[in-house]
Amino acid sequence: MENLSRRKALTLGVALGIVGAAAPVPAWASAGSTAGTGALTGAGAGAAAGPGPEWIWDEAADPLMARMIDGGHVPAINRAWEKWVNNNDPIPGGLPSDFAAYLAQANHLPSWADQAKLQRAADFNRRRDTYLFMLYGLGSGIMSTVIPREAKSVYWSAGGADMQDRAAKTFTFGYDLSQLGAFKPTGQFVVTANKTRVVHAAVRHLLPQSPHWKAVADESIPISAADILVTFHSLGTYVHQKLLEWRIPYPAADQEAFLHMWQVAIHLLGVPYEHIPKTWAEARAQSQQVLTPILTPSTEGIALAEDLLGLTAQIDLGVTRGFLNEFVRYVLSDQVGDWLGLRRDYAAAALVRTAWPAFILFREGLSPVMPGTFYMFDQFIRAIAMLFLNKGSSGTTTPITIPIGNRAG
């Protein structure tokens, strides 16, 4: 039985491009252990003999947010930080003093952040935005619905009731992360990441009060550092592997910069440095251990996927829903497509599988032959990009707000 599920996980991993020939290694590597000699999951022998990341939440933000919610301060915080957008904006006035003190302490880059690498990553993001939009949006976005803990917590939190709004906020994260000056004082990503960290802390206090979530959850507090690492693999590690698989020109320095950007991002979300993979090889091995085997459908995830894919129906993608379903199958495997009940369209499937690689070759200047489907793909990509670039309803500000309750039912 164990072999069977391991085999299934491997097959799925190969399809997702996140399983290689790497030898099995412990799931969670320890402090700076690029060799992956760290702790085994839950063995309590993690970094510096501390707990593994599944036992780490957020010591700084969690108790604070519990106090803010119980004390009724959240609406005032949401109002006060609406205009707090740029990394070098002063901490806004009108915040409870302990909350302001927390933000002042949390809202800066870690000492190991390397501006040159971050700049290179930003430039890479700009040059590769086409593929990144497609992969984050249709790959990682839909993959999140078959990560059961994520799907269940997203579904039963307040934001689950309005996926359009939630997706817009999540896209804000990707958008701000991908901007040229994202990590510079005039950029916006440090603020966006800190808002997100605070939202996660709020969710850790709120969701355990939801009878619906409690009925389906397999953990008592959501969004551990381990859960965040799993999500990182569904974003960064997955996209990295797909770019390699698609043979997009991707020099080693860009690969390193892209990893560095993600390392800083997940650290800003509260994951301790020692638990963050130090190389793509380590990330890939960890992903193979902690992401691929847990992918599975759930009632909540199926509903979320339908919501997300339905969202795209509101804009003209220049392609049919059948084509969209098949593109998702192409980037995530038929296994995932079947789990989510994505209706088959075999003509579209054949088109995606032959024309997409030709489209990439042409775009990258690796083939002089422009595929007849070029404009269709081009329009498709533009439409998906619009979802990112619209940045939700507010346009210019970062619309992330702290929830004060859960989804009702």
Would you tell me which residues interact with ligand HEM (CB under 6 A)? 149-150, 153-154, 157-159, 166, 169-170, 173, 196, 199-200, 203, 222-223, 227-228, 231-232, 235, 266, 269, 400, 403
Give the largest Cα separation in the chain, rounded: 64
> Least Å distance between CB 406 and ligand HEM?
8
| Residue type, position 322, single letter | G
- Between CA 408 and CA 291 the distance in angstroms is 29
- Closest approach, Cβ 222 to ligand HEM, in A, equals 5
Instruction: Tell me whether residue 266 or residue 351 sits nearer to ligand HEM (CB atom).
Output: 266
Least Cβ distance, residue 274 to ligand HEM (angstroms): 17
Q: Output 26 or 160, the one with its CB closest to ligand HEM.
A: 160
Q: From the CB of 12, what's the least distance to ligand HEM, in Å?
A: 19
Rank residues 130 and 170 by Cβ distance to ligand HEM and give the closer one: 170
How far is the C-alpha of 180 from the C-alpha of 127, rounded, in Å? 11
**Minimum CB–partner distance for residue 392 and ligand HEM (Å):** 9
Nearest CB to ligand HEM, comparing residues 271 and 317? 271
φ, ψ dihedrals at 96, nearest 5°: -55, 140
Residue number of the CB atom closest to ligand HEM: 159
**157 three-state secondary structure:** strand
Give the Cα-Cα-Cα angle 18, 154, 349 (nearest 5 degrees): 45
Q: Identify any residues that bridge with 157 across adjacent strands, giving them in sequence order.
A: 406
Least separation in angstroms between residue 320's CB and ligand HEM is: 29
Give the burial string for 58-73 (b: 16+ CB within 10 Å, else e): beebbebbeebbeeeb
Q: Which residue's CB is nearer to ligand HEM, number 120 or number 267?
A: 267
Nearest distance in Å: CB 322, ligand HEM: 29
Residue 68: name the closest of 28, 44, 31, 97 by CA.
97
Minimum CB separation of residue 146 from ligand HEM in Å reads 13
User: Distance between CA 307 and CA 167 in Å, rounded?
Assistant: 10
Kindly state the tokens that stand for 69.
């919610």
Nearer Cβ to ligand HEM, position 273 or 362? 273
Tell me whether residue 268 or residue 349 sits nearer to ligand HEM (CB atom): 268
Dihedral Cα 280, 308, 203, 100, nearest 10 deg: 80
Q: Kindly report the number of other CB atoms within 10 A of residue 36's CB atom.
A: 22
374-389 and 163-178 helices cross at what angle (nearest 10)? 100
What region, left, alpha or beta, does residue 67 occupy, with left being phi > 0 and alpha being psi -120 to 50 degrees? alpha
- How far apart CA 277 and CA 282 sit, in angstroms, is 6
Q: In angstroms, give the least distance from the CB of 276 to ligand HEM.
A: 11
Those residues whose C-beta lies under 8 Å from the C-beta of residue 79, and which sit 6 or more positions away, are: 94
> Which of 397, 370, 345, 173 is CA-nearest to residue 265?
173
**For ligand HEM, which is the closer residue by CB, 270 or 337?**
270
Instruction: Kindly report the number of other CB atoms within 10 A of residue 278's CB atom.
Output: 18
Report the alpha-carbon distance of residue 257 to residue 287 in Å, rounded. 19
Q: In this complex, which beta carbon is closest to ligand HEM, that of residue 174 or of residue 371? A: 174
Q: Which is nearer to ligand HEM, 84 or 232 (CB)?
A: 232
Shortest gap between Cβ of 57 and ligand HEM (angstroms)? 11
List, in sequence order, every residue forming a beta bridge with 406; answer none if it has no partner.
157
Instruction: Report the residue number, 84 or 356, with the smaller CB distance to ligand HEM.
Output: 84
Closest distance between ligand HEM and the C-beta of residue 270, in Å? 10
